Amino acid sequence: MKKIGQAFTVLILLVFLFSGFVMAAEMDFGDLGEEFVDFDGDLVADIPAEESEWINPDTIIFSYTPVEEPSVYKNAWSDFLDYLAEVTGKEVMFYAVENYAAQLEALRAGRIHIAGINTGSVPFAVNTAGVVPFAMMAAEDGSFGYEMEIITQKDSELETLEDLEGKTIAFVSQTSNSGFKAPSAILKSEMGYEAGKDYQTTFSGRHDNSIMGVYNGDYEVAAIANSVMHRMDASGAIDMSEIKTIYKSQTFPTTAYSYVNNLHPGLAQKIKKAFFTFDWTGTSLAAEFEDDKFIPIDYKTYWEVIRTIDRANGVEYK
């Protein structure tokens, strides 16, 4: 875990890394779909002007990013969702999704009201589903984030990025920051390597699949979020001493907790209150995660580094 100041240092480093995109970053007016408006310039969709378009559901549907086994996280979130129900006066249901695409589609279709969205998918959710990121997990001192690591087995001959030429790299999905977008940009900027030309790709669907694939020898090398690897090590699913890291990135923002922009503003305020007043002590959430609290975030600032990586990769939010 790194300090908040380090996270913003990351932003500066990334802008230099992708210097050709500096002007675009400075003139970031967003990429919202035509059905949304952004009058305040924060790059996220405003609440609809017509109150008739606001929703105030009797049951709030919550979804957590599908980085690992969904059933595990239904239990991990149980204490918090009970508190969310208490604060909002609503029924709350956990909605398990198997992959990033399914979560985004459910958000677009209105089947999810609050979601923990993985780092790389946040810009897609903001621009195509109109979500409003508002919170992120952090340590007691306010530090947050994770790093992308490129991993292999401990006895592998692979030692550096240069050794990846001609290899097949296991990625997670094309919307994953640490599981595809960041490593692709780094391989291109630092080594001049391009997928399909200098190395081949395969996609595992989830970080835990990639990590377990390397651990069991199914994949020679994979790009993953180290926060997931650390949780798997802590739970006994893997032994990290059997894994070797050949590249570790700067710190990135982690899962963004977001609500859909057409949620009734009164309900949205109660949801934020639940996140920011939740006492983690002795809860199922504290047992699963290393963090201690939720902190407020804004998409325009915290996700600038991710948007810069996306520009470097030619990503369009559709």
Is the pLDDT at 25 greater than 70? The verdict is no
Domains of the chain, by residue range, sit at: 4-143+253-312, 147-252
Query: Quick one: average pLDDT of 257-282?
Result: 98
| 264 in Cβ contact with 111 (< 8 Å) | no
Separation CA 174–CA 195 (nearest Å): 12
Per-residue pLDDT reduced to its tens digit, 48-65: 999 999 999 999 999 998
Band the pLDDT of 72: cuts 50, 70, 90. confident
Query: Quick one: average pLDDT of 186-200?
Result: 94
Band the pLDDT of 70: cuts 50, 70, 90. low
Q: Could you check whether 4-143+253-312 and 147-252 share the same CATH topology?
A: yes
SS3 110: coil
Question: Which of 97-106, 127-136, 218-227 shows the lowest mean pLDDT across its residues?
Answer: 97-106
Locate 20 and state its tokens. Answer: 């050709």
Is the pLDDT at 136 greater than 50? The verdict is yes
Give the global pTM.
0.78
Is the pLDDT at 188 greater than 80? The verdict is yes
Residue 204 burial (CB < 10 Å; 0-12/13-18/19+)?
A: buried
Per-residue pLDDT reduced to its tens digit, 202-244: 999 999 999 999 999 999 999 999 999 998 998 899 999 999 9
- In the CATH scheme, what is the code of domain 147-252? 3.40.190.10
Query: Quick one: average pLDDT of 173-199?
Result: 93
Please tell us whether the domain made up of 4-143+253-312 is placed in CATH 3.40.630.40.
no
Band the pLDDT of 117: cuts 50, 70, 90. very high
| 225 in Cβ contact with 179 (< 8 Å) | yes
Separation CA 199–CA 194 (nearest Å): 7
Residue 38 burial (CB < 10 Å; 0-12/13-18/19+)?
A: middle
Give CA separation, 119 vs 40, 138, 168, 182, in Å: 23, 14, 24, 11
